Chain A
């Protein structure tokens, strides 16, 4: 950049080299360059630097084999896809996943089984199923069904508006 005390801002001169100044400023700098050898040298130095840099890059990267590069990228993608598939497989069939899933499934099964037994089975006699209420209740809080055995009595009711089922259970002592 120019060492002399000319009125051109060196940053603006750098912008001028890159074609990043307004047209009127560019015109002013062009006029100035014809009178200022320091600024002219600065512009020339920058252009040479630019050429040097381009040569430096091109000289070093032009030796790269494009088809080998392409093959490598595609191979790496295949390899990574394979690794991901393997990881998923290993994760799914690893003890870390299999054991807890099996345990959870067993717990859920047992819970369902016992709740079914407690709700629907009568321990004293043969299995008695409640009649399934499908019709819509019309009357206020109605008893849908009731029955009693030797030791227990059960009453099924339904609320009038929300049609929620209420189970009443009594054990005879």
Chain B
């Protein structure tokens, strides 16, 4: 039975055609096309920006700037890479630039766990235990803070790879295209990000 693969290939073709039409309309300055672009990609791009910056306001501003850049530079988009890849690339670059800008002005504000919990040190729940389920974990503010801290401690470029894979589900090849790096680099950055995050989260166990 070859039907499923034919359907997938037809869907891919239809998506590419729809994307091409959208780009054409954008190049003609069609405002409705621009609004539909925002509606289609806003959530994903904000997620990517947030995964890198860990700041909601900042990530909103970044993605707003991304859309403004797209509006102004759509004529230079040659459709060699997909529209999605192009948008991800601008968002990641904009997020990393924003971080560099802030880093020059201030250092990251490190919130220690003891500051907010009046001297108590909180141990995260044990990995693999029943309590360590995603929904339970996020009811615990301390764990969220700890997770955020460890995430911020990752190198920025590693964080970009991690968010594109874990949140957006991009393949290694797609990530390599977005960030203009080798597939092997994607693989090793992902491995090290996971290693560091799991180690850090397990620290409280021992």
Contact = CB atoms under 8 A, between A and B. Distances in A.
The winner among A20, A57, A59 for most chain B CB atoms within 10 A is A57
Interface residues of A, number: 36
A66 B42 contact: yes
A74 B137 CA distance: 38
Contact of B144 (A1, A48, A56, A61): A56
B68 A53 contact: no
Contact of A14 (B47, B56, B187): B187
A56 B67 CA distance: 24
Contacts of B144: 56
A61 B187 contact: no
Given A11-B187, A61-B47, A69-B64, A55 B135 contact: yes
Interface in A112-168: none
Contacts of B87: none
Given A18-B190, A59-B138, A48 B132 contact: yes
A55 B128 CA distance: 17
Interface in A25-52: 41, 44-46, 48-52
Contacts of B165: 18
A70 interface: yes
A173 interface: no
B134 interface: yes
Contacts of A55: 134-135, 137-138
Interface stretch (B17-25, B91-99, B103-111, B195-203): B195-203
Interface string A8-23: 0011001100101000
Interface residues of B, number: 47
A87 B162 CA distance: 42
A88 to B, nearest CB: 15
Interface in B101-135: 127-128, 132-135
A1 B137 contact: no
A54 B166 contact: yes
A103 B54 CA distance: 56
Interface of B: 31, 34-35, 38-39, 42-43, 46-47, 50-51, 56, 59-60, 63-64, 67-68, 71, 127-128, 132-135, 137-138, 144, 147-148, 151, 162-163, 165-167, 171-172, 187-188, 190-191, 194-195, 197-198, 201
Given A14-B190, A20-B172, A64-B60, 10 more contacts: A1-B198, A14-B191, A18-B165, A52-B147, A55-B138, A56-B148, A69-B38, A70-B42, A74-B35, A76-B68
